[in-house]
C-alpha cells in the first residue's frame, strides 16, 4: 500500500499543540494504524470519519508518515517524536548525535547551547548524556516541535534568533545552520545564505572555547577554520555529515569516522602527503566515503600497506588480503576490454547475470550501463571501472571477506 504524502506541510504552533494533546495523540495512533494498510485517500477518509477537520487529518497523517520514515534515523524514539519534512531531513541520526554528546562530555563540557536546534535531535542526545541544554530555534512551529521532543529531559527551548544570543552562561556551543531556503524548500549552497550565516557560525569559536559545527559532507575544505578539526562521518557506508571541532575539542586536523552496526572505526590525519603509486594488485579496496571526503586516502593506504594505481583515483591495491573497517575489499579476477560491446560479450561468455558496478574517475552511469549490457546468466560478479594514466580500464572482481566490523 502507498503511504500518504500530503503535498503541503501545514505546521504551526496551534497544530503542534493539538498533536501533543490527548485528542491529537489519539488521532496519531489511528493514523499510524491506517498508513500501514490503506492508501492516502482511504486513510484521509477514515480519519475524517472520526470528526477531524481536513487540516488536522492531514497533519496527523503527515506526522504518522514522517514517524515511519524517521525510524531509520531514530529507532524506537521516532514513534513518539514530531517532525517537519525539512527538519527530519536535516536532523542528526541518533547514533551520530550520541557519539558527539559523549565526546563533549569526555572533553569536560557541562552546559551547551544548541543554536538552530531544529526538531531537537542533537539536544535530545546532549540531555541524555547529562549535559544542561539550552536549545534555540527561530521558527516558532519548529521550536514547538523541539520542545515536544525534549519534554522531560530538562532541556530549555527558546524561540529566538540564534545570532542575538548571549553565550556567557554556557561552556559549549553547537550549531547546525539550516541549508535550505525556508520559503522554497531548496538547498542553499552559498554559506552566507545559511541560517545563521557562515560568518556568524565560524565566529562562535571566538566566543565559546568548545564549539562544534555541523556542516554538509561536501563542505569546501577551504571553509574549515584554521586550527579546527574536520570530521566526516559515515553510517552504514553512507556519508551523512561533517563536523568541525574547534578550540580544545580539536584533536587532529582531519578525522574519518565509520559507523556500522554498533561499532565505530576512526582514521585520523598523520601527515602522509601521498600514497605510493604501484601496479594493479590482486586485491582492490574502495575506501569509505568518509575516508575520501576527509582526504585521508593516503593514511588509509598506509594502514594496509597499499598503493594507488593512479595518484588521482582513490582505489587502493595490495597483493595480499588485509582486513580493514575502512572500506570493502575485492579480489581482482581479470582485466577486461573496455567498452559496452566487448564487455557484454565477455560477461555473457562467463555466464554473469548479476553485476555490481563500481566506478571512479570515469563518466559512466552504472544503471544505464547495466541495461546496455543486457546480461543473462547464473553467476554474479563485480565490475570496477576506473582510469590509470588517463586510460579507462575494466576490472572483473568478486567481493572478498576483507571488511572488519568496526568496534568501540
Instruction: Give the domain ranges of the chain.
Output: 13-72, 89-251, 283-400
The model scores a pTM over 0.75: yes
CA nearest neighbour of 384 among 371, 395, 375: 395
Q: CATH fold of 89-251, please? A: Rossmann fold (3.40.50)
pLDDT tens per residue across span 307-321? 999 999 999 999 999
Angle at the Cα of 206 (from 204 to 209), degrees rounded to 5? 85
- What's the longest Cα–Cα distance across the chain? 71
At what angle are helices 40-48 and 22-34 packed, to 10 degrees?
A: 150
The answer to whether 298 and 272 have CB atoms below 8 angstroms apart is: yes
What is the grid cell recorded at 214?
A: 555541523
Please report the pLDDT score of residue 3 as a whole number.
Answer: 43
Residue whose C-alpha cell reads 593506504 in the numeric block:
301
Whole-angstrom distance, CA of residue 50 vs CA of residue 28: 12
Q: Identify the burial level of 56 via C-beta atoms within 10 angstroms of its C-beta, where 0-12 means exposed, 13-18 middle and 19 or more buried.
A: buried
Please report the pLDDT score of residue 4 as a whole number.
Answer: 41
Give me the sheet containing 263-268, strands edge to edge. Answer: 156-159, 132-137, 111-115, 172-175, 210-215, 238-246, 229-235, 254-260, 263-268
H runs (alpha helix) in 309-406: 340-349, 366-373
The answer to whether 175 and 214 have CB atoms below 8 angstroms apart is: yes
> H or E stretch including 31?
helix 22-34
- One DSSP character per residue, 170-231 reads -SEEEE--B-B-TTT--B---GGGSBS-HHHHHHGGGT-SEEEEEE-TT--GGGSPTT-EEE
Distance of CA 56 to the CA centre of its chain: 31
User: Using CA of residue 327, residue 332, residue 338, residue 344, what is the dihedral sign?
Assistant: negative
> CB count, 10 Å around CB of 370?
15
Please report the pLDDT score of residue 139 as a whole number.
Answer: 93
Residue whose C-alpha cell reads 489511528 in the numeric block:
30
Whole-angstrom distance, CA of residue 174 vs CA of residue 167: 11
> H or E stretch including 255?
strand 254-260
Whole-angstrom distance, CA of residue 213 vs CA of residue 178: 12
Please report the pLDDT score of residue 47 as a whole number.
Answer: 79
Q: Which residues have C-beta within 8 Å of that of residue 94, sequence separation ≥ 6?
A: 73, 74, 75, 77, 121, 125
Whole-angstrom distance, CA of residue 44 vs CA of residue 61: 8
What is the grid cell recorded at 246?
A: 574547534
Whole-angstrom distance, CA of residue 388 vs CA of residue 293: 21
CA nearest neighbour of 163 among 215, 202, 111: 202
Give pLDDT tens digits along the chain (408 positions). Answer: 344 444 345 678 999 999 999 999 999 998 888 887 766 677 777 878 887 888 888 899 999 999 999 999 999 999 999 999 989 999 999 999 999 999 999 999 999 999 999 999 999 999 999 999 999 999 999 999 999 999 999 999 999 999 999 999 999 999 998 776 655 566 767 777 778 888 999 999 999 999 999 999 999 999 999 999 999 999 999 999 999 999 999 999 999 999 988 789 999 997 787 899 999 999 999 999 999 999 999 999 999 999 999 999 999 999 999 999 999 999 999 999 999 999 999 999 999 999 999 999 999 999 999 999 999 999 999 999 999 999 999 999 999 877 777 876
Amino acid at each position: 500500500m502507498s503511504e500518504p504524502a500530503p503535498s503541503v506541510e501545514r505546521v504551526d504552533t496551534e497544530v503542534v499543540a493539538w498533536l501533543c494533546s490527548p485528542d491529537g495523540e489519539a488521532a496519531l495512533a489511528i493514523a499510524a494504524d491506517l498508513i500501514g494498510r490503506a492508501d492516502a485517500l482511504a486513510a484521509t477518509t477514515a480519519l475524517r470519519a472520526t470528526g477531524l477537520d481536513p487540516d488536522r487529518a492531514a497533519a496527523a497523517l503527515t506526522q504518522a508518515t514522517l514517524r515511519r520514515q524517521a525510524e531509520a534515523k531514530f529507532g524506537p524514539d521516532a514513534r513518539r517524536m514530531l517532525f517537519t519534512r525539512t527538519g527530519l531531513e536535516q536532523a542528526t541520526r541518533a547514533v551520530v548525535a550520541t557519539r558527539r554528546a559523549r565526546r563533549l562530555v569526555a572533553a569536560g563540557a557541562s552546559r551547551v547551547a544548541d543554536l538552530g536546534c531544529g526538531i531537537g535531535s542533537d539536544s535530545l542526545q546532549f540531555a541524555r548524556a547529562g549535559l544542561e541544554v539550552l536549545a534555540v530555534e527561530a521558527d516558532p512551529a519548529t521550536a514547538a516541535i523541539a520542545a515536544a521532543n525534549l519534554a522531560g529531559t530538562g532541556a530549555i527551548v527558546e524561540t529566538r534568533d540564534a545570532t542575538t544570543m548571549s553565550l556567557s552562561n554556557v561552556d559549549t556551543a553547537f550549531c547546525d545552520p539550516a541549508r535550505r531556503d525556508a520559503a522554497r524548500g531548496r538547498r542553499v549552497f552559498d554559506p552566507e545564505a545559511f541560517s545563521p550565516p557562515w560568518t556568524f557560525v565560524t565566529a562562535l569559536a571566538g566566543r565559546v572555547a568548545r564549539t562544534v559545527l555541523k556542516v554538509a559532507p561536501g563542505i569546501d575544505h577551504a571553509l574549515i577554520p584554521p586550527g579546527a578539526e574536520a570530521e566526516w562521518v559515515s553510517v552504514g557506508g553512507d556519508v551523512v555529515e561533517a563536523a568541525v571541532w574547534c578550540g580544545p575539542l580539536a584533536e587532529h586536523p582531519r578525522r574519518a569516522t565509520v559507523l556500522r552496526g554498533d561499532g565505530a572505526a576512526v582514521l585520523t590525519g598523520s601527515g602522509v602527503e601521498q600514497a605510493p603509486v604501484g601496479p594493479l594488485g590482486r586485491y582492490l579496496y574502495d575506501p569509505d566515503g568518509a575516508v575520501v571526503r576527509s582526504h585521508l586516502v593516503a593514511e588509509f593506504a598506509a594502514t594496509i600497506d597499499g598503493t594507488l594505481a593512479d595518484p588521482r583515483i582513490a582505489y587502493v591495491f595490495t597483493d595480499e588480503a588485509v582486513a580493514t573497517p575502512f572500506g570493502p575489499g575485492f579480489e581482482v579476477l581479470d582485466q577486461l576490454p573496455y567498452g559496452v560491446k566487448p564487455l557484454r560479450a565477455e560477461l555473457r561468455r562467463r555466464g554473469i547475470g548479476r553485476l555490481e558496478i563500481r566506478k571512479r574517475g570515469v563518466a559512466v552511469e552504472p544503471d544505464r550501463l547495466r541495461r546496455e549490457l543486457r546480461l543473462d546468466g547464473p553467476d554474479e560478479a563485480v565490475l570496477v571501472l576506473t582510469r590509470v594514466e588517463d586510460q579507462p580500464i575494466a576490472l572483473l572482481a568478486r567481493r572478498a571477506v576483507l571488511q572488519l566490523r568496526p568496534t568501540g
